[in-house]
Chains A and B, each alone.
Chain A
Amino acid sequence: MDRRSAIKQMFVLAGGMMIATSCSTDGNATSIILNNIKMSASDEALLADIVEAIIPETDSPGAKTLQLHLFVMKMVDDCHSPEDQELFLKGLKDAKDLSGKSIAETATYMQQLGPKDGFAKMIKERTVQGYLNSEYVMKNKLIYELVPGRYDGAVKVNS
């Protein structure tokens, strides 16, 4: 195997984003390397169910397929304060019983936490962010233009 493809294999795409994969042989390790928070493979699976409940698969891919759980993990690990991280891990722990439950039950649990719950808010905001900024959505649904090449300050809105 050449160096290039070896390196490539160490990356997975989460919402179109490259994330370094974990090389651990530990069976319960997360699939990406985390530097600050400690999570297990089962936490990761639980988080995947939660993000899927927030943005489910319909006629288009949902959060799990777009690997938004990995995006949420990456952002919580790198971009949040230690207090937020603690809140996140505690929220996951409290949600442990959801393992193996249906999407509907997971959705009910998360919604019951209410919009002010720090854990629920963090996951939802990051999931929505990851979704809207995913390669899938930006290429297929709400098109992002890298090079618009124009500006029109008065376009009639089609009613």
Chain B
Amino acid sequence: MANLNIDSEKARTYDAIVIGSGISGGWSAKELTERGLKTLVLERGRDVQHVKDYPTTNMYPWEFEHRGEMPYAVRQENPIVNRCYAFHEDAAHFFVKDKEHPYLQDKPFDWIRGYQVGGKSLLWARQTQRWSDFDFEGPARDGFAVDWPIRYADLKPWYDYVERFAGISGDRDGLPELPDGEFLPGYPLNVVEKYFKQKVESKYPARKVISARCAHISKPQPIHIQQGRTQCQNRKLCQRGCPFGGYFSSNASTLPWAAKTGNMTLRPDSVVHSILYDEAKGRAIGVKVIDRNSKEEMDFYAKLIFVNAAAINTNLILLNSRSNRFPNGLGNDSETLGKYMAFHNYSARIYGEYDGLLDFKTDGRNPAGGGYIPRFRNLHKQETDYLRGYAAGFGAYRSASSDRSGFGEELKKSLLNPQLGNWGVGSHMMGETIPKAASYVALDAQQRDDWGIPLLKISIDYDDNDAKMKKDYLDTMEEMFLEAGFTNIRRDDRWQPPGLDIHEMGGARMGNDPKTAVLNKWNQMHAVPNVFITDGASMTSTSTQNPSLTYMAFSARAADYAVKEMRKGNI
């Protein structure tokens, strides 16, 4: 019997465990397995294999029962996930429904989740802008959160590294606030986006309109072909999963690569309950897993643990990993775990029309989505009555539409003869928000989920800084739209709960001082050196740029460091 237990324990022992298989977990898995570590990748959701498990990927619009629309009953049952822009009939199977993993909202917060192998990397908007020292120096300069323990120079080689593998398209724009990278050819701005660029840049030299950088393969390189991926075919049906591997996802890229090493064991349906801590060793020794379906409890062991469960679930796992040494959550000597969370303010848009350049239209689809306006507010110095700033998307589109006012033959004729109208233009804000102790997630003392894990309480809200920034965004964009001669300008100042931006960050932040941060400059726990966190939970501040590319770079950098430390005997 004793031998059986030992054998069984041995069978459940790996060199490394990666919790989560989304964008950051996929990278951790790739890097650790490539370095020869036998790695167990735990994913709480079901398995989703590239192409094979993309049931809607090649469907035509008429093949969807409701032409893409979600049924009324589903919308009523899922007020939260239904607010997500991509929750439609073609991708609803990749989203967590509201009742599947409930949480408590002290303040309204839309927690949008993708529980499956690949996580939200199947669903993301694929915008990949690098962060710069204007971001990493932000907290120190403006006096919030704690100083980032790294600078751009620390991350630059790892941005280069992940970009080459993932396939990032973009122009080299030479902007210090948005560093250039190892780009495949960028997607062109269309004729009206170029016109707006020229108008804006001549009137406001500090403001730039560039082609958005994105994780699409515009021109495949040998490294992409080796992954079995090929050129993006401009379908823009990415949320269904791409049969070409045209955009980066764990499913198309890092996970099959990790599998090819022979060192990866992928275990779907594995809900991580907690990380096991051994007080005598002063190390984490493994994780406790509840099987999603059977609810069977089992422990897995490893010398090294990477937590990549996505920002909020990483916090949940750490908070639920309680021991005598860490009664308030693993590695939580600073008492900051779960706190200083922040997100991106996406709550304003602005639209208009342009009646110039009507002798042009576009053809095909642009996977980059159009233009990107990097942050220009408070960039070099504080200049407004709010801290930090916003980036903005900008896009112009011209589609043919038909007059639908008629009836009978006249209507039919009109429907079949759509006419090009004015150009439509639009922009959305991407505002940096300030991480605060008052923005937190915590475990509920009573209620538990289907796997016996405490429900999470989320208490995160906008503040006055966000309101001022939003007003400035709308005023400033309106001014730029007017400057460009756009008409029929509509400001869309919408209420949307934090979370719907799907850029929640923080809770287990990086920082040099163990008294005020959970992680050090290597994304390594100050207090538990064999635990690394490289997803959104680790972020000290939010920047204005989309965060996924930065998670990839942190994951690769941390894995490289962790393996070196292991080999030196330090882990």
Q: Is A149 a contact of B364 with CB atoms below 8 Å?
A: yes
CB contacts under 8 Å to A, within B26-61, are 58, 60-61
Closest to B211 in A: A153
Select which of A19, A81, A153 is within 8 A of B362 by beta carbon.
A153
Residue-wise, chain A 131-157 has the 8 Å CB interface mask toward B (1 for contact) of: 111110110011010111111111111
Q: Is A132 a contact of B72 with CB atoms below 8 Å?
A: no
A58 beta carbon closer than 8 Å to chain B: yes
Residue-wise, chain A 73-113 has the 8 Å CB interface mask toward B (1 for contact) of: 01100111100000000000000000000010001001100
Closest to B366 in A: A151
Q: Is A17 a contact of B411 with CB atoms below 8 Å?
A: no
Q: Which residues of B contact A12 (CB under 8 A)?
A: none
Which of the 9-residue segments A1-9, A23-31, A40-48, A49-57 touches chain B? A49-57
A54, A152, A153 pick with most chain B CB within 10 angstroms: A153
Q: Which residues of B contact A79 (CB under 8 A)?
A: 66, 69-72
Select which of A16, A78, A153, A155 is within 8 A of B66 by beta carbon.
A78
Contact A154:B235 (CB < 8 A) given known A15-B62, A56-B408, A107-B407: no
CB contacts under 8 Å to A, within B178-199, are 187-191, 193-194
A10 beta carbon closer than 8 Å to chain B: no
Q: Which residues of B contact A81 (CB under 8 A)?
A: 72
Q: Is A17 a contact of B404 with CB atoms below 8 Å?
A: no
Closest to A111 in B: B407
B361 beta carbon closer than 8 Å to chain A: yes
Q: Is A149 a contact of B233 with CB atoms below 8 Å?
A: yes
Q: Which residues of B contact A58 (CB under 8 A)?
A: 409, 412
Select which of B194, B366, B367, B404 is within 8 A of A128 by beta carbon.
B404
Q: Is B65 a contact of A155 with CB atoms below 8 Å?
A: no
Q: Which residues of A contact B411 (CB under 8 A)?
A: 54-55, 128
B65, B365, B367 pick with most chain A CB within 10 angstroms: B65
Q: Which residues of A contact B367 (CB under 8 A)?
A: 151
Contact A151:B62 (CB < 8 A) given known A58-B412, A156-B359: no
Q: Which residues of B contact A118 (CB under 8 A)?
A: none
How distant is the Cα of A121 from the Cα of B340 in the complex, in angstroms? Answer: 49
Select which of A18, A60, A133, A147 is within 8 A of B235 by beta carbon.
A147
Closest Cβ of chain A: how far from B49's Cβ, in Å?
A: 21
B416 beta carbon closer than 8 Å to chain A: yes
Count contacts between A and B, CB distance < 8 Å. 132
A107, A130, A142, A152 pick with most chain B CB within 10 angstroms: A152
How distant is the Cα of A152 from the Cα of B189 in the complex, in angstroms? Answer: 9
Q: Is A154 a contact of B360 with CB atoms below 8 Å?
A: yes
Closest to B396 in A: A153
B282 beta carbon closer than 8 Å to chain A: no
Q: Is B63 a contact of A17 with CB atoms below 8 Å?
A: yes
Q: Which residues of A contact B405 (CB under 8 A)?
A: 115
Closest to A35 in B: B73
Closest Cβ of chain B: how far from A129's Cβ, in Å?
A: 7
How distant is the Cα of A101 from the Cα of B222 in the complex, in angstroms? Answer: 67
Q: Is B72 a contact of A144 with CB atoms below 8 Å?
A: no
Q: Is B234 a contact of A54 with CB atoms below 8 Å?
A: no
Chain A interface secondary structure, helix, strand, loop or mixed?
mixed
Q: Which residues of A contact B412 (CB under 8 A)?
A: 55-56, 58, 62, 131
Q: Which residues of A contact B234 (CB under 8 A)?
A: 147-151
Closest Cβ of chain B: how far from A30's Cβ, in Å?
A: 16
Q: Is B360 a contact of A157 with CB atoms below 8 Å?
A: yes
Closest Cβ of chain B: how far from A158's Cβ, in Å?
A: 10
Contact A134:B62 (CB < 8 A) given known A148-B234, A148-B235, A152-B364: yes
CB contacts under 8 Å to A, within B409-444, are 409, 411-412, 415-416, 418, 420
Q: Which residues of A contact B225 (CB under 8 A)?
A: none
Residue-wise, chain B 244-258 has the 8 Å CB interface mask toward A (1 for contact) of: 000000000000000
B144 beta carbon closer than 8 Å to chain A: no
Contact A53:B363 (CB < 8 A) given known A142-B418, A148-B235, A149-B233: no
Closest Cβ of chain B: how far from A39's Cβ, in Å?
A: 17
Q: Is A152 a contact of B362 with CB atoms below 8 Å?
A: yes
How distant is the Cα of A74 from the Cα of B66 in the complex, in angstroms? Answer: 8
How distant is the Cα of A135 from the Cα of B64 in the complex, in angstroms? Answer: 11
CB contacts under 8 Å to A, within B351-374, are 358-367
Q: Is A110 a contact of B63 with CB atoms below 8 Å?
A: no
**What 7 A-B pairs come out closest when comparing CB atoms?**
A153-B190, A16-B62, A150-B364, A151-B364, A154-B191, A148-B364, A78-B71
14 sampled A-B residue pairs with Cβ under 8 A: A18-B63, A55-B408, A56-B409, A75-B66, A128-B411, A133-B67, A142-B418, A149-B234, A151-B362, A151-B364, A151-B366, A153-B193, A154-B188, A155-B361
Q: A78-B73, A79-B69, A154-B360 are in contact. List 19 more A-B contacts (CB 8 A).
A: A18-B65, A19-B65, A53-B407, A56-B408, A56-B409, A128-B415, A129-B67, A133-B62, A133-B67, A134-B62, A137-B416, A141-B416, A146-B60, A148-B235, A150-B363, A151-B188, A152-B364, A156-B360, A157-B361
